[in-house]
Structures are given as C-alpha cells and as structure tokens.
Structure 1
Amino acid sequence: MLDPNTLTLPENASLFTRLNLALKILKVIKGNEGNPVYGQTLNACLDYNVYESLAQRLQSSAYWRRMLSERPSLESRNLDLDALERLPEGTLGHAYARYFRDNKISPFETTLEIKNDIDFIAKRYRETHDLLHLVTGYGTDVMGEMELQAYALGNLGIRTAALIVLVGTVGQLKDRQSGVDSSEYMRRVWAAYHRGRASPLFLDFWFEDHWETPVATLSASLCAPATQLH
C-alpha cells in the first residue's frame, strides 16, 4: 500500500515518471477514490500537459491572472459552512453547505505542497468538483458522477476524467452499475460530454465571490443548457 503522504511528483517529471507513478496509484486507489492525495497526484500525472495547455489558454483572462497570483483555496480549513448555510436558500453558499451536510461528507482537503502553477491548477480542478455538481445539476450517484466526469472531459480535456468514464462504462456494460440501462447511460454521458464542450471554461471562475448568487443564475452563465443537448 502506498503511503499518500510520501507521494510526490517531481517538478518537470518525465512522461515515464508520471505514467509509472500513475500506474502505482491506480493499483491502490480502488475503494479509496476520495483520497485527496491519490486523486490530485493521479490527476497531475495524467494531465500535466493538459494543465500546461490550459494555463496558456487562460492567460488572457484577468480572473485567471489574479487567481494564479493569489491562489485562492476552497479547502475545508478555508470555508465556514455554518456561515454559508445561513445564506438565503437557493444561493450558491447555502446550497454548497447543504450539499456537504446532506451527503455527510467534508470539503476537499490536501496536504500536498503547491509549488507551481501546474500544482495549483490540479488542486483547483479537484476542489471545484463539488461546486460543479451544483451548477451542472448532475447528481452524486454513479450516473451523476459519470455525467460530471464526461462534462469535465468535454470542457477541459481532462485525461483523468476520460479514464474514469472508461472504467465506469466498462462497469456499466458488465454490471449496470449506474442503475439505468446501457442505452440511457450512453446517451446521458454523451450529452454531458457535449454540454461540457459547449460551455465556457470554468477554471478561472471565482466561486468564492459568488456565495450569495443564486445557483440557477450561475448555472445559466457557466453551463450550456442541458435540455438542448440530449
């Protein structure tokens, strides 16, 4: 068993090093998919070049330049869920706090050191996962998770998301793990992928500045309409 606290991806690691570490993580991550160190390290191993490309694409965004300068955090220690839950019902903050209470989970947390912009992008992608559930409307069941991963693949080209969708699809074809029939599963995953492609990139969005904004408003501005892509 790999010790999550000893997992480090060397800066400017070669493709061989990244793939070798990714394979080691894949052997132990099953049943521990929520581990933030495993998840973030695997994401960085597979998506290093994707993040480099995204960083270049986002350089024209003033929000992104500010984000790289300030490196905001949505980790558990930087959130006050009690205060967010007191915001009006329907706002992002209230929905976000209720999301964690209702699912009996805690916000993202990691012990990995953020040494460069690539590390920050990997972390930002991971810690916005739960917010994306809210703004996209995809559930937290198996089907909803596959839809969200397909959305992220379409929106950002994330290879980790592609791997998760692939594994999930194999499970669906073998055991119908999503709870829906295979034709419905494929239709919904495909629709989510195209919805992600049709939506603006979300990585430079400052969710922290919009706790009082209605979720419906954010969904309309950040996501292409789902109903038009089914």
Structure 2
Amino acid sequence: MNEATTTMTGIDSARDGTPLRHPQRPKPKYRPLEAVRNFRELLKDKENTAVVFKIYEALPSRDFMPRVRALTLSEHGEKLRQNEPFLPAFLDDHDSLRRFPAGSVAHAYCDFMEREGLTAAGLVAESDASGRPTYDDLVQWFGFRQRDTHDLMHVLTGYGRDALGEQCVLLFTHGQSPSQGHLLLGYAGSLHIKKLRKSAAPVMKATREAHRMGKACPPLVSLSIRDLLAKDLQQARADLNIAEPHWYRECHRVWKSEGIDPYDLMAPIREDSALAA
C-alpha cells in the first residue's frame, strides 16, 4: 500500500475512504454457458447492449482486480478520481467540448456522437438496464470509466458502428484490458459476420489488426480524458500508437465492390429472399 491509500477496517481504500472493493460486492462467478446464452440473444438484436454487460459479468477476468488496484490505489489514480469522478456529464457537454480547437479529439468525438445520435448518458441507461447493482467502491469507478470511454475508442481508432467496426473496437479493448468477454464478443462476432454472406472481405485480418493495435495503445482508462480530448486527433493517434485500420477499410472496400452495404450486412440476403418469393 502506498501513501495514497489508507486502511479502513482491514480493507484497502483511497484517501477519501472509498474502499477498493465494497464488502457487499459479490465475488464474480465464472458462468460460460450464461455468456453463450446472452451472446445468442445479442446476435438476434445487436442493439440490445444490456446483454453485453451480462456477458462480461459471466466471464470475469482474473486480471481485472490487479488492474483496478494498480490504478486506483496510485497517486495518478487519486488525481484522476478527483478531476474526473464521472465522465458522462462531461462527455455530453458538447458546448464545452466544442471550445477545444478544431481538429481536436473533442470535436471528432462530438461529430461522431451527434452523427450517430448517441449520448454518454444513453450508454449509462443501457448499463442500468442490465439490472446489475452498483457499489460505492473503486471497482465501480474503474468499471464506469471503461464503459464510458467505449465511444471514444471508436473516434480514436476510426472504427465505425457497423458490425465489423464494433467487433474491432471490442478486440482493441481486449488488447488493453484482456477478458474472455471481449474475446467472445469480438472473435465469435467476427465469425458470425463471415457466415452472413460469402465474401472476399478479410474480416479476420481486420479483427486481428484491431487486437494488435489495442495491445500497443496505453490503456485509455488510465489516461486523463480531459487532456486527451484537448489534443489534435492525428497527434493523439500517433502518441497512442493507433495506426490506420487498413484491413477494416479493405473489408468495406471489398463489400461495396460486391454490392454489400457494410452497415447492413443482412440487406443483400433479405433482397435475394424477396426476389425468390
């Protein structure tokens, strides 16, 4: 324990007394069958984000708590908690974010969220819909921070919200924070994409590329999001070792040449079925 922590009834805690892990927080249970069941539900409706959180809950990572401890019980983690206690309100204040220079990560983030009709608060609502209880501890702060930077990863990597783009972001995230949940969603989802339609698109090359980039990029959860948003987008990508997503772009090029809409991979199938009818 370093000087940034105190001991509260034998429990590691931050200076303000927030425990690392609340005594009432249940110990995670490994439930692979539950994860697979929820994954099948997600395949039926990819917008059903609530089941994504259930998948992560069913596939807890052994490395999660060591990562939480290393960040939250450090001087750097203390400063992040003081300056960025909860990101959604800050991320949804587009008027303030637009005050950053043109070409900044902040402007790109606002453009992305407004174009897609998304809000950070909306992701919070989807998380709440999973019905999981919350606890006043450092684990919760860390988990919220991982959740609330998801859309920022889309902006930094250049991966869209199409089916492949989502799988790539998940595997980029696994490169930063390894978990079987990310692997299941990323690679099983990618294989599902390949089965949707015969195509020469290099789907697995795209997802493996995303996985490698995630490993090379410093964990976003440990960075000052305020400082990151103020940076020039291209400079931020260079600083974080985020390269151009070549194989993802190539998949889009190939699909379009084959008459397939990357943002609606089932569309050609539905059209063929309609003609047959």
TM-score higher than 0.5 here?
A: yes
Instruction: Specify every segment of 5 or more residues in structure 1 that has no aligned partner in the other structure, as ranges.
Output: 1-9
Structure 1 outlier segments of 4+, above 6 Å: 227-230
Q: Percent identity?
A: 21
Q: How does 1:107-122 map to 2 (within 5 A)?
A: 107=120, 108-110=123-125, 111=128, 113-122=134-143
What do you get for the CA RMSD once the two structures are aligned?
3.3
Q: Are residues 1:126 and 2:147 paired?
A: yes
Shift of the 128–186 alpha-carbon distance from structure 1 to 2, 3 Å rule, reads same
Q: Give the whole-Å Cα distance in 1 for the aligned partners of 2:48 and 2:79.
A: 29
CA shift for structure 1 position 139: 2.0
Q: Are residues 1:13 and 2:27 paired?
A: yes
Q: Give the whole-Å Cα distance in 2 for the aligned partners of 1:135 and 1:25.
A: 28
Shift of the 61–194 alpha-carbon distance from structure 1 to 2, 3 Å rule, reads farther
Shift of the 200–187 alpha-carbon distance from structure 1 to 2, 3 Å rule, reads same
Q: What residue in structure 1 maps to residue 92 of structure 2? A: 79
Q: Are residues 1:194 and 2:212 paired?
A: yes
Q: Are residues 1:161 and 2:182 paired?
A: yes
Shift of the 226–94 alpha-carbon distance from structure 1 to 2, 3 Å rule, reads closer
Shift of the 60–219 alpha-carbon distance from structure 1 to 2, 3 Å rule, reads farther
Q: Give the whole-Å Cα distance in 1 for the aligned partners of 2:89 and 2:34.
A: 27
Q: What residue in structure 2 maps to residue 208 of structure 1? A: 226
Q: After superposition, give the CA deviation of every residue in 1:51-77 in whole Å (9 maximum; x if it has no partner).
A: 212124436853323335666222257
Q: Are residues 1:53 and 2:72 paired?
A: no
Query: Given the alignment, which residue of 104, 118, 141 partners 1:105?
Result: 118
> Which amino acid in structure 1 is aligned with residue 229 of structure 2?
W
Task: Report if aligned partners of 1:148, 1:192 keep a CA contact under 8 Å in 2.
Answer: yes
Shift of the 59–105 alpha-carbon distance from structure 1 to 2, 3 Å rule, reads closer
CA shift for structure 1 position 22: 4.8
Shift of the 109–150 alpha-carbon distance from structure 1 to 2, 3 Å rule, reads same
Q: What residue in structure 2 maps to residue 139 of structure 1? A: 160
SS at match of 2:103: coil
Q: What residue in structure 2 maps to residue 96 of structure 1? A: 109
Higher helix proportion (structure 1 or 2): 1
Q: Give the whole-Å Cα distance in 2 for the aligned partners of 1:105 and 1:209.
A: 22
Task: Report if aligned partners of 2:174, 2:183 keep a CA contact under 8 Å in 1.
Answer: yes
Q: Give the whole-Å Cα distance in 2 for the aligned partners of 1:201 and 1:90.
A: 23
Shift of the 212–224 alpha-carbon distance from structure 1 to 2, 3 Å rule, reads closer
Structure with the greater alpha carbon radius of gyration: 2
Instruction: Specify every segment of 5 or more residues in structure 2 that has no aligned partner in the other structure, as ranges.
Output: 1-23, 249-277
Q: After superposition, give the CA deviation of every residue in 1:51-110 in whole Å (9 maximum; x if it has no partner).
A: 212124436853323335666222257631133235432112211111111112222324
Normalization by structure 2: what TM-score? 0.64
Shift of the 85–229 alpha-carbon distance from structure 1 to 2, 3 Å rule, reads same
Q: After superposition, give the CA deviation of every residue in 1:20-66 in whole Å (9 maximum; x if it has no partner).
A: 8656755655426454x544454344235332121244368533233
Q: After superposition, give the CA deviation of every residue in 1:100-122 in whole Å (9 maximum; x if it has no partner).
A: 11112222324463432222222
Q: Give the whole-Å Cα distance in 1 for the aligned partners of 2:55 and 2:84.
A: 21
RCO comparison, higher one (Cα < 8 Å, 6+) = 1
